């Protein structure tokens, strides 16, 4: 029996570190909801697992570093994927020097633009969901992601990151500007429309 180490257990999924063939892997298993009718729950788990797998595969096609997927079990809601040996951006962001921090922020912006160029919405872009390995930023956990071409949704995607930086790395909240710099450089459509949406979202929150 393969040994498993629980890395994270949440309301929606359980993340385990284990082995698959000769590889060290992460398994993401969606949690069954006992309050839902079983047939509906099984269908939702299967659909969401399939959707996340497709988003990860499409992100890779766009040149965004993501874990390699080794196996997908739609019935059990399990995605078996590469374990990325690296450091979470969340854990290192505050300790980088200025040049390193600027460089990482620009790379983050470029990669988000690559996703948005193909209408891939990550849904939970935070520094917890990015890993620095081999000088590349790997995006993980597309569980809240979707395909959506709306400017509003892309603005929300970036706004989540802006708030994450502001709350987790408040001393460096202005570095979000470098994320936008990288984003504008890579985005194929008019980035100013997305930026305007971010500003609109901020105003909405302010005047509630």
Nearest to 129 by CA among 148, 147, 114, 108: 108
Rounded CA-CA distance 91/109 in Å is 19
Encode the chain in three state secondary structure. Answer: CCCCEEEEECCCEEEEEEEECCEEEEEEEECCCCCCCHHHHHHHHHHHHHHHHHHHHHHHHCCCECCCEEEEECCCCEEEEECCCCEEHHHHHHHCCHHHHHHHHHHHHHHHHHHHHCCEECCCCCHHHEEEECCEEEECCCCCCEECCCHHHHHHHHHHHHHHHHHHCHHHHHHHHHHHHHHHHHCCCCHHHHHHHHHHHHHHHHCC
- Catalytic-residue membership of 124: yes
Out of 39, 119, 124, 166, which one is annotated catalytic?
124
Tell me which residues are annotated as active site.
124
């Amino acid at each position: 029996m393969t040994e498993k180490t629980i890395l994270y257990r949440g309301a929606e999924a359980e993340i385990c570190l284990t082995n698959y063939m000769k590889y060290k892997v992460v398994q993401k298993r969606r949690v069954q909801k006992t309050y839902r009718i079983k047939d509906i729950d099984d269908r939702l788990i299967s659909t969401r697992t399939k959707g996340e797998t497709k988003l990860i595969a499409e992100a890779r096609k766009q040149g965004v570093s993501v874990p390699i997927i080794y196996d997908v079990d739609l019935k059990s809601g399990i995605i078996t994927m590469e374990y990325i040996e690296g450091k979470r951006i969340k854990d290192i962001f505050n300790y980088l020097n200025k040049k390193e921090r600027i460089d990482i922020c620009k790379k983050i912006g470029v990669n988000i633009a690559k996703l948005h160029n193909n209408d891939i919405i990550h849904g939970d872009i935070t520094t917890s969901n990015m890993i620095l390995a081999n000088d590349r930023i790997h995006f993980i956990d597309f569980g809240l992601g979707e395909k959506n071409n709306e400017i509003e949704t892309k603005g929300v995607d970036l706004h989540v990151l802006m708030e994450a930086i502001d709350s987790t790395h408040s001393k460096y909240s202005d570095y979000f500007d470098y994320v936008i710099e990288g984003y504008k450089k890579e985005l194929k459509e008019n980035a100013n429309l997305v930026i305007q949406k971010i500003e609109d979202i901020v105003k909405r929150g302010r005047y509630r």
